[in-house]
Copies of this chain bind each other. A is one copy, B any other.
């Protein structure tokens, strides 16, 4: 007989009820009486576990009765409805085969563990309810994003991980090298990068956007979905050194188009998870974040609000008393301001547009006022900024002037300027931090708990 997954059994119960099935899984609990017992097993394909009833008619009843939490088993038997019980059906075992036993030292005995403790066993925590829910949803969110963009004809571009440039002139980057650190080749106080693998200094990417733009100017609509890195030593709940990012980019598109696709995308992804992971969301709503389901349903049904930065500052200034950081035109908005806008003022997601040019990146399109750029941040209740994007400067002269003002190395960006010399188009895009989206959709509050193997300052396990 073939092994049937619990997902199939739960989603097509009618087909399996009153038939003989073979299932596999790991023991979640085992209660035995004198001549029968209940085994709860999960095979990882479905959130809800299966109850197995076994009797002393089994030749290995004694072995079954001793099975510990975590043991792997294969069970054959008949699936029968249990209308009077909590669970809809149970499996009446005709045989239980031990695939792999477990040991008493198994760290996941049946009791609640703190998330902090579970972080110390990243190789085992996916077996718990919370992480079964989180990581299945993570997988679904990833696939929903791909589906969303592919259905709309966007081309998936793998922008490079190792790079010789620094997208935003910004950040602290990880260096990538094959030079021996014990004896770095030096001459006159300079590292001899000619001897490094690529013949130059290289780092891990902080964004694929500029590379993505080159493909948008060929395929019109593209998206990236890959890992990005920041070597920031900030030890917060929201920052990891390695995280994934989605960066769509569209040619022949303006800031309105960017907002339209961003709103559509968020709703699509949330809707996908609502439909495909109802058991997981129910669990998270009950044990992790009581307002989760309401919030997700609310977003899907809302029309996102829109406000300019200048208008938003006027609104916020009236409330300066309540803020730690006082607001004035020209300042960057802090999370407290963002959350006030989306949670108190609009009570739904809001796009804030047209930020002062000096607090935004060089590539954003200068507005006619000469002071602001066509930037947009999408703020959502409970978290603040979830998406940042912009229309890009498509005018060769204006872009060059801005880069010169910022004393950037024009030669390094020759390829980027070329896009404005040869068939430039109005175009724009945005970045969605994937983990931030997963946190939002699962209600988890620490980024370490939505990354399979989180990398943060001082922490790189497995």
Query: Which of A's residues lie within 8 Å of B, judged by CB?
Result: 3, 5, 7, 24, 26-27, 43-45, 70-72, 74, 99-103, 105-106, 122-124, 126-127, 131-132, 135-136, 138-139, 142-143, 146, 150, 153, 155-165, 172, 174-179, 181-182, 184, 186, 189-191, 197-200, 202, 204, 210-211, 214-215, 217-221, 226-227, 229, 231, 233, 241-242, 244, 251-252, 394, 415-416, 418-426, 451-453, 455, 457-462
Contacts and interface: CB of A to CB of B under 8 A. Distances in A.
Contact of A5 (B153, B190, B217): B153
B102 A161 contact: no
Contacts of A103: 421-422
State the copy count for this chain: 2
Nearest to A143: B150
A241 to B, nearest CB: 7
A218 B28 CA distance: 12
Nearest to A204: B176
Contacts of A176: 174-176, 204
A146 B141 CA distance: 12
B136 A219 contact: yes
Contacts of A200: 460
B415 A462 contact: yes
A143 B156 contact: yes
A197 B155 contact: no
B161 A218 contact: no
B242 A162 contact: yes
Contacts of A186: 182
Given A27-B423, A161-B161, A182 B174 contact: no
